[in-house]
A and B are shown apart, each in its own frame.
Chain A
Amino acid sequence: MAGHAEDFDIIIAKNVNKWYGEFHALKNVSLDVKRREVVVVIGPSGSGKSTFIRTINRLEEHQSGEIVVDGIPLTHDVRNIEAIRMETGMVFQQFNLFPHLTVIQNITLAPINVRKMKKREAEERAMQLLERVGIPEQAQKYPGQLSGGQQQRVAIARALAMQPKIMLFDEPTSALDPEMIREVLEVMEELAESGMTMVVVTHEMGFARGVADRIVFMDAGEIVEIGTPEHFFTTPQHDRTKLFLEQILK
């Protein structure tokens, strides 16, 4: 996988389809994400945006179409799935920290057991990451003792500890009190500046406008429109996009 050009497509999704029983949740979704690119996915609830990013690391299985992550095709082969999961970090709406482990244990668990890193080294790296997300003093606490914003920052540090090439964010600020959204977005902005490839599902239009390289608008399981923030917020093309933007920017 080494030696690819800078603009190599690190995520390739081609005609991805997914059904929940009879319900057609993703309809021929195709999207390529370049290395170091930040793609923000927006759309009304139920539009399939969360489902789509969850197919990228196989938390949801797609039934037809093709997904290739960092050159690894996403098939039923467990080794491929695990290889892809090692390359992609994910941050969830509900944080999903492990409540029975301390913050530092949450962060070092996967590096020690999946990457086979030495405990000392994993802990040192974890502390650096906690510095980076601004809460090194919380290392020995349990998740239940932290605020929502702090928990989400730990979740970001936990994902980064695996040294992923791609970070997936599934509505990372939707479960947060308004006072805490800012601190999480700042971490994400810093991450984007550092050159991380990011796919972000969010309702934070300020973040989309300020940080995204491209914005993807989804509705009813389909990609409706893709464009730069400039294009999106000034000259949206599709009527559905215009309606959505009107309603949320009102």
Chain B
Amino acid sequence: MATDVHSPSWVNTNHPAPPQRPPASEVGVLGWLRTNLFIDIGNSILTIVTLIVLYYIVTNLVQWAIGAYWTPIWVNRKIFAVGLYPTAQLWQPALVLLMVSALFGVSAGQWGSMIRGLGFGLGVLLLALALIPIGLEAQLVMAGSLALLVVGYFIGARLPIPNKLLSIAWILSLPATLILLLGGLNFPAWGISWTFAPLVDTNLWGGLMLTMLLAVVGIALSFPIGVLLALGRRGNLPVIKYFCVGYIELIRGVPLITLLFMGMTMLPLFLPSNWGNPSQLVRAVTAITFFSAAYLAENVRGGLQAIPKGQYEAAEALGLGSFDKLRFIILPQALTKVIPAIVGQFIGLFKDTSLVSLVGLLELVAVGKAVIQQPEWLGVPGGVAKEVYVFVAFVFFIFSYGMSFVSRKLENKLGFGKR
């Protein structure tokens, strides 16, 4: 019904009017093509040129990939996965995978959102590995993990498992992983020596397992440090504040590789002499943790700054003390806001761990380098470096993209519901 623009008073008797569909040129495939790819002559030329270049690159890549020599990767699949970890004791990393899968499953069922996305990604990966004939035992482990993931999901979705219990399980899973991989606990300095299997030296840990472990342990250990640094930097106590600022800026002003070298050479100077020589893994993890904590602190600070002053005032007006105010009001909101940034940082760290190959640890890139040098492939024309590095890059990409995809979906979701 048209508005009578000439009349001094007019009533819309048709209110509320039903919504109508937008014009056809705005929706559908044709509409999308028109507005995005062929809006004018310049835009159309760009589209066509880009398509030609893309075609050229993709066809060449595919041709190369079909003719490439992938045997070295297939033959060394165990080393790419776990490094030099003793074959007879592979049941230990297998147990870790089973445990983590079960935890992911239950958490995905209970918490949903991001964990569900990550759990789904893990499930797809496990399914693929269970179907590829990488070896019967390994396939059974993958299938078992997948089963635990799925069963865990339904348990988590049906049964009311307390959040606290699940969080504690996650926190305990980290030391449990380390003990499982080591084969026991061994601190001669404190007289602790307990083993359930022959101890596996950490220098034998390697491959994707080590890459993952470094990134996860790095983030997990740096998390509390980073939160404390962020709070200290935002606080009112000058000494603590300037210590935090100094630490954060110092670390952020230094490349990770420098810290890794410093960790390798200088860490023993700061430890009591009767602790013995820390292993290379411990030195690398220490450097990574200190590095990651500084960046995490800045991310958390961003989250703290995004909390409106009114939230602090409301908490204070209700009589909450400073600690309760942080615990119940400020940190939950600040940390939720920075989950995407922390995931981004985790992805960065996941890739940065490749630097530990330079200090003698056998993570994914170092395994790749070693494989390239194996004498078996000397006769291959052009060597196998291309294949190996493409494979390593592909593995990094699968994990990084998977995580950033999940995090982006979460970011979109955080905008709703709780606004």
Contact = CB atoms under 8 A, between A and B. Distances in A.
Contacts of A98: 311, 314-315, 328-329, 333
B319 A162 contact: yes
Given A96-B313, A98-B314, A142-B417, 12 more contacts: A82-B319, A85-B317, A85-B318, A85-B319, A86-B319, A92-B314, A92-B317, A100-B336, A110-B320, A113-B324, A114-B319, A159-B317
A149 B324 CA distance: 28
Q: How large is the interface on A (under 10, 10 to 19, 20 to 34, 35 or more residues)?
A: 20 to 34
Contacts, number: 69
Interface in A69-96: 82, 85-86, 88-90, 92, 94, 96
Contacts of A113: 320, 324, 328
Closest 4 CB pairs of A and B: A96-B314, A96-B310, A144-B419, A110-B318
Interface of A: 57-59, 82, 85-86, 88-90, 92, 94, 96-100, 109-110, 113-114, 142, 144-145, 158-159, 162
A100 B332 contact: yes
A58 B318 CA distance: 12
Given A99-B418, A109-B328, A82 B321 contact: yes
A167 to B, nearest CB: 11
Given A144-B417, A144-B419, A88 B311 contact: no
Contacts of A114: 318-321, 324
Given A59-B313, A109-B328, A113-B324, A100 B418 contact: yes
Contact of A158 (B310, B311, B313, B318): B318
Contacts of A144: 417-419
A85 B316 contact: yes
A57 B317 contact: yes
Contacts of A100: 332-333, 336, 418
A218 B308 CA distance: 28
A82 B317 CA distance: 9
Nearest to A85: B319
Interface centre among A59, A96, A109, A159 (most CB of B within 10 A): A96
Q: How large is the interface on B (under 10, 10 to 19, 20 to 34, 35 or more residues)?
A: 20 to 34
A94 B319 contact: no
Interface in B303-339: 308, 310-311, 313-321, 324, 328-329, 332-333, 336
Nearest to B416: A144
Contacts of B319: 82, 85-86, 110, 114, 162
Interface centre among B313, B317, B329 (most CB of A within 10 A): B317
Contacts of B311: 96, 98
Nearest to B311: A96
Interface centre among B308, B311, B324, B418 (most CB of A within 10 A): B418
Interface string B80-107: 0000000000000000000000000000
A99 B310 CA distance: 12
Contacts of A110: 318-320
A162 B310 CA distance: 19
27 contacts: A57-B316, A59-B317, A85-B318, A86-B319, A89-B317, A92-B317, A94-B308, A96-B310, A98-B311, A98-B314, A98-B315, A100-B332, A100-B333, A100-B418, A109-B318, A109-B328, A110-B318, A113-B320, A113-B324, A114-B319, A114-B320, A114-B324, A142-B418, A144-B417, A158-B318, A159-B317, A159-B318
A249 B332 CA distance: 46
Contacts of B419: 99, 144
Contacts of B417: 142, 144-145
B268 to A, nearest CB: 44
Contacts of B316: 57-59, 85
Contacts of B308: 94, 96
B416 to A, nearest CB: 9
B332 to A, nearest CB: 5
B33 to A, nearest CB: 37
Contacts of B318: 85, 89, 109-110, 114, 158-159, 162
Contacts of A57: 316-317
Nearest to B327: A113
Interface in B131-183: none
B314 A97 contact: yes
Contacts of B336: 100
